[in-house]
Amino acid sequence: MTGRDWARWLRWSVHLAALLLVTALAWAFWQQRLGPDSIGEITRRTGRYALVMLLLSLTVTPIATLGKFKRILPVRRTLGLYAFWFSLLHLLAFAGLDFAFDFKLILGTARQGNRVLAGLATLVVLLPLALTSTDAWRKRLGRHWKHLHRLAYLAAALDVLHYGLNFKEFRTAPVLATVALILLLIARIPAVSRRLRQA
């Protein structure tokens, strides 16, 4: 298979995975299999899907560098966009299903802690990335596009913080997400990525 075939195959796999996740969630909701707090479960699951898509989007570059198949790089955009769409679904579940878009109530919750603020900050950072993800914007912004899209790491850091702030007791998953992000950041250090390219 050529690099281009790999990219196409991976992109379709991401579309299929996203479709399966949304369908399974809608089906479980319809079947009332999400437990007593079904809205909370939808919020948590869509949040998790967004985080996984975001972290996966950041693994594409190191994998492409290590495996020397640059053709898979477009998959980054697909994964990043799904991170954004799942974040929107997550926000919609939180603000719409949980609070019936009562913004006074939502602001009251936001004031209670940094958790919601960290989530909001993640979404604010993801928004310009999603809006400028097209080829036309890439051309228009030139080299600034690359600089702008490095904000994906800031979004991931804010998201990992948001994830961690959800728990008062020790949980393995947020620690794993933090370790994954730190490794991805290390892989971006020029000396390390040079080493990876030579390996």
Report the interface residues with ligand HEM, using CB under 6 A.
40, 43-44, 47-48, 50-51, 54, 83, 87, 90-91, 94, 116, 119-120, 122-123, 159, 162-163, 166
Minimum distance of ligand HEM from residue 136's CB (angstroms): 25
Taking alpha carbons only, the member of 51, 3, 45 closest to residue 11 is 3
Q: How long is the chain?
A: 199
Structure tokens at 118: 């960290």
Minimum distance of ligand HEM from residue 5's CB (angstroms): 30
Minimum distance of ligand HEM from residue 3's CB (angstroms): 29
Residue 132 one-letter amino acid: T
**Of 34 and 192, which CB lies nearer to ligand HEM in the complex structure?**
34
**Of 73 and 116, which CB lies nearer to ligand HEM in the complex structure?**
116
**Of 176 and 186, which CB lies nearer to ligand HEM in the complex structure?**
176
Minimum distance of ligand HEM from residue 140's CB (angstroms): 25
**Of 75 and 119, which CB lies nearer to ligand HEM in the complex structure?**
119
**Of 7 and 53, which CB lies nearer to ligand HEM in the complex structure?**
53
Kindly tell me the sign of the dihedral angle through the C-alpha atoms of 184, 185, 186, 192: positive
Minimum distance of ligand HEM from residue 116's CB (angstroms): 5
Give the C-alpha separation, 47 to 41, whole Å: 10
Contact at 8 Å (CB) between 125 and 151? yes
Cβ neighbours of 166 (radius 10 Å): 15
Instruction: Tell which phi-psi region holds residue 37, choosing left (phi > 0), alpha (psi between -120 and 50) or beta.
Output: beta
Angle between helices 172-188 and 151-165 (to 10 degrees): 160
User: In which element (H, E) is residue 69 found?
Assistant: none
